[in-house]
Structure 1
Amino acid sequence: MDKFEMYIEIRGLINQKYSVSAIARKMKISRNTVYKYLQKTPDEMAEWTAATMARTKKLDIHKELILNWLREYPDMTAAQVYDWLKEKFPTFKVGESTVRNYVKDIRAEFSIPKEVNKREYEAIPDPPMGEQIQADFGFVTVRNKAGKPVKLMFIVFVLAHSRFKYVWFQNRPFTTKDVVEAHKKAFIAFSGVSKEIVYDQDRLLVVAENEGDILLTEEFQQFVNEVEFKVVLCRKADPESKGRVENVVGFVKKNFVQHRIYHNIDSWNEQCQHWLDRTGNGKVHNGTKRRPADVFLLEKQHMRQVNLLKQNIKSSITRSVRKDNTVLFHSNRYTVPLGTFHKYPEVQLKPSKENKLIIFVKDTGEILAVHSISQDKGQLIRNTSHQRDRSKGLTELKDSISSHFTDPERAKMYIQELQRKYPRYVRDQLSIIKKCIDVSAVDVLDDSLVLCMERNLYSANDFRDVVQLLKRQRQVNMNSPSAIAEYQSTSADVETLPLLSAEAKHRPLNQYVAIMEGIK
């Protein structure tokens, strides 16, 4: 129902002696809206409706983009649309409620319905600051650039009071060792450890639980003893025990993961960290009405510090080597020696106090590369020693060509000038000269080289033309004994060759005039 139809219906109900409150309840609108419509005459209402129809909206410039997203992903939420717009346009300043209303209007205009799955939760009070962390696992299937499915596993940690979150993904199943490492990363992100951590009864952590008596796996029990925190177990999908982290698992799936293209696990985790900064921890929480990042500034002061965190900062980071022999670190690519991709699929990274990134082999400790850490994003940090030695083959080619001349040093001087004049095409230039060498005698090559250098013909194409010219000239002169003697006496000075010194014949101008007069 448009605004003018609503106005007509309100007027009709007023004429039927309905009260303003009854009209508001019947039409499911506010009483203020009813009063606003009743204050306008039909002409004023028609004029106002036409004005609102012609008025542009802030998000109209992104309408096609949002419409394409909704058509491709009909289950996409307005919150995810808002996050994607902020990701695609860093300077995006439109409020989330504006985006939500705009998405609602587009769905209505283009008939793109959205199914909403509701789940009932019971409100429970927030624990004190630094009291509790909730942890849970999740898995998703995403698509890579080729459209093939990729299964990812992830673990979520959330501070129960501030709702500050940490997420870590893997492209393989978790082991207990992986879970321990993920805990260490989360403790670094949280600046400490809470008094207790709530889990499901997962086989990676728990062997058995009998009415409160918990038997943990050996490796995880050792970690708990080392860090000293209380383990609290709950039943699966129990919202009263760990509803906060279950909400976060769903939030990660629907807002971050859904419809995102997978490239590799390192860039995926970096994108997730940016999402946490931008949305996961940077967006106002619906329950607390505060940003988790802001509340966390207070809660982290109540977290218990452990020496394990300092040790973990100093420890190395495992990274996969990419096909182009680079390693991804903080959104930049750092080179490693050629062949590392095939020899060492995974390497260790260790930032140093001198702002250096040390890349080494875990098993042997062999240092592969040392780079200065860049503060920019999207940069390729290169070490020239890691590049392919492209000059080696070129040097061999130049030496090979020079050796076919009587005076190799002269030939090298000529080639050096070619390289200076055609730096990007030196191989093509040398290839032309090599073809001349394959089909020409040594004396023709030597004379052509002398002539080209004397006349400053520093081009492989010019060299080829001179070679062909000398070969034709000598073929003509060799037909008679006198020509042979003449050639032998003048071969030292190639400029005396008849073809080189010959001039084109010129017709008198009156011949051209006569020709043109004959054309009618």
Structure 2
Amino acid sequence: MLAGHTGLVDDLLRKGVTNSQVIFERLLGQGYAGGLTTVKTYIAAHRDLVPAKRRQAAPQGCRGQRFRTAPGEAYQMDWGFVAVERPGGERARIACFAMVCHHCGGAHVEFFPNARQENLLIGMLHAFSAPGVPATVLTDNMKSVVVRRDADGRPVWQADYAEFMGVVGFRTRLCRPRHPYTKGKVERLVRFVKGNFLAGRSFTDLDALNREAA
């Protein structure tokens, strides 16, 4: 059943893509008529094509305390930087804006050429458009959001971001510096985008990529 499609699978394996569901979906787009089991069998037999993984540090256990929020109470947001491939094989580095509702897990993903503040604010407005504006947004201490902390440890907001908060009507909660474990939902979303959605996918332009992400 894989005759005529093994080139695509081999190419994905050489790029480190081993998720059988991801490869299966790419094959369906090529007209593959077989099943998922056939794909899994082929992957298992061609593991030698997969590049060796970097050594990872040993898990250090949970570093945060689980907390619950009510509907609309809190969203988490983050940037991720990803390498994508154009149809001709050219590689490009783009920014992925991600926002997720802490209560229900509803997610928004949008790609931009960079992580400048204007793109952050556009991404936030687009994320708010469907579920509504939350009471609080949890984020890292990014320069487009906070300039510094005062003598009492209170954040000094970037002026344009402070005005944006006031106009739209939400508060911002910052993770402790170098301790972003409280926004695990959005970090897992970014990992999913990198390891699943973008795996083996090429794109013509950001508009097309964002339509697929939506």
Change (3 A) 1:126 1:68: farther
Structure 2 counterparts to residues 109-508 of structure 1, below 5 A: 109-112=45-48, 122=62, 124-171=66-113, 173-190=114-131, 192-210=132-150, 212-235=153-176, 238=179, 240-273=181-214
Flag the 1:213–1:237 CA change in 2: closer, same or farther, 3 A: closer
Q: TM-score with structure 2 length normalisation?
A: 0.79
Task: Please state how far the C-alpha of 1:225 moved relative to its aligned partner.
Answer: 0.9
1:186–1:105: structure 2 CA closer, same or farther, 3 Å change rule?
same
TM-score if structure 1 supplies the norm length? 0.35
Identity level (%): 23
Between the aligned partners of 2:168 and 2:86, the Cα distance in structure 1 is: 38
Q: What do residues 32-74 of structure 1 show as CA deviations (whole Å, max 9, x unaligned)?
A: xxxxxxxxxxxxxxxxxxxxxxxxxxxxx35763x43442122
TM-superposed CA distance for 1:224, in Å, is 0.5
Structure 2: stretches of 5+ with no match in the other structure: none
Distance 2:176 2:167 in 1: 26
Considering only CA atoms, is the larger Rg found in Structure 1 or Structure 2? 1
What letter is aligned with 2:10?
A: R
Question: In the comparison of the two structures, how many residue pairs are matched?
Answer: 204
User: Is the alpha carbon distance of 1:140 and 1:63 closer, same or farther for their aligned partners in structure 2, counting shifts above 3 Å?
Assistant: same
| 2:20–2:43 Cα contact (<8 Å) kept | no
Q: Report the alpha carbon displacement of residue 85 of structure 1 after superposing the two structures with TM.
A: 4.8
Corresponding residue SS for 1:226: helix
* Closer, same or farther: CA 86–162 of 1 in aligned 2, 3 Å: farther
Distance 2:196 2:145 in 1: 28
The 1:135/1:87 distance shift into structure 2, 3 A limit, reads: farther
Q: CA RMSD in A?
A: 3.0
Change (3 A) 1:87 1:108: closer
**Distance change >3 Å, CA 124–CA 87, structure 1 → 2:** farther
Which of 6, 10, 15 matches 1:71?
A: 10
Report deviation, 1:238: 4.0
Shift of 1:227: 1.9
The one-letter code sitting in structure 1 at the alignment partner of 2:88 is A
Instruction: For CA contacts below 8 A with separation 6 or more, give which structure has more relative contact order.
Output: 2
Shift of the 168–113 alpha-carbon distance from structure 1 to 2, 3 Å rule, reads: same
Q: Which has the higher strand share?
A: 2
The alpha carbon displacement at 1:124 in A equals: 2.3
Question: Are the structure 2 counterparts of residues 178 and 111 from structure 1 closer, same or farther at C-alpha, using a change threshold of 3 Å?
Answer: closer
TM-aligned CA distance change 1:182 to 1:262, over 3 Å:
same
* 1:368 aligned partner: none
SS at match of 1:71: helix
Residue 200 of structure 2 aligns to a residue in which SS? coil
What amino acid is the match of 2:160?
A: E
- Return closer, same or farther for 1:119/1:188 CA change in 2, 3 Å cut-off: farther
For structure 1, the residue ranges without an aligned partner over 5 or more in a row are 1-60, 274-520
C-alpha contact 2:12 2:23 (8 A) present in aligned 1 = no
Question: Residue by residue, what CA displacement relative to the aligned partner does 1:368-388 show, whole Å, maximum 9, x if unpaired?
Answer: xxxxxxxxxxxxxxxxxxxxx
Contact 2:24 2:39 in 1 (8 A): no
CA distance 1:149–1:111, shift in 2 (3 Å)? closer
The answer to which structure has the higher helix fraction is 1
- 8 Å Cα contact 1:141-1:150 kept in structure 2: yes
